[in-house]
């Protein structure tokens, strides 16, 4: 399967609730690479690359986790994977 990239901006009360570290933990169980980071406007940005099913599983796992109650909006955009990531990690 051809790798894809998704970029997701999570809005709501998503900072200060363990969002980044939970996302990394969930991603480690899947074949995805990329990063998650806090943005200055209070949102969290997630960039992930992998197969479609793995990417959708990551998004579903985030929604099903304790983080789901903090998300008020999720803005996703797709693009071609670049292959630039070796793992999935927190960026500062």
Task: Look at residue 23 and tell me whether its pLDDT is greater than 80.
Answer: yes
Q: Is residue 53 part of a domain?
A: yes
Residues 6+ apart with CB under 8 A from 31: 50, 51, 54
Q: Please tell me the predicted confidence (pLDDT) of residue 43.
A: 98
User: Which range of residues forms the domain containing residue 61?
Assistant: 4-76
Per-residue pLDDT reduced to its tens digit, 34-92: 999 999 999 999 999 999 999 999 999 999 999 999 999 999 999 999 999 999 999 99
Q: Is residue 9 part of a domain?
A: yes
Task: Look at residue 22 and tell me whether its pLDDT is greater than 90.
Answer: yes
Q: Is residue 92 part of a domain?
A: no
d(CA 36, CA 17): 14
CATH of the domain at 17: 3.30.70.100
Task: Supply the residues annotated as catalytic.
Answer: 20, 38
**Total domains present in the chain:** 1
Per-residue pLDDT reduced to its tens digit, 74-90: 999 999 999 999 999 99
């Amino acid at each position: 399967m051809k790798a894809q990239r998704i970029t997701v901006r999570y809005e709501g009360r998503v900072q200060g609730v363990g969002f980044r570290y939970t996302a990394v933990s969930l991603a480690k169980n899947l074949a995805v690479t990329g990063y998650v980071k806090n943005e200055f406007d209070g949102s969290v940005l997630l960039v992930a690359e992998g197969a479609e099913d793995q990417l959708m599983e990551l998004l579903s796992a985030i929604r099903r986790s304790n983080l789901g109650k903090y998300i008020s909006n999720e803005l996703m955009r797709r693009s071609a994977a670049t292959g630039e990531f070796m793992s999935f990690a927190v960026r500062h």
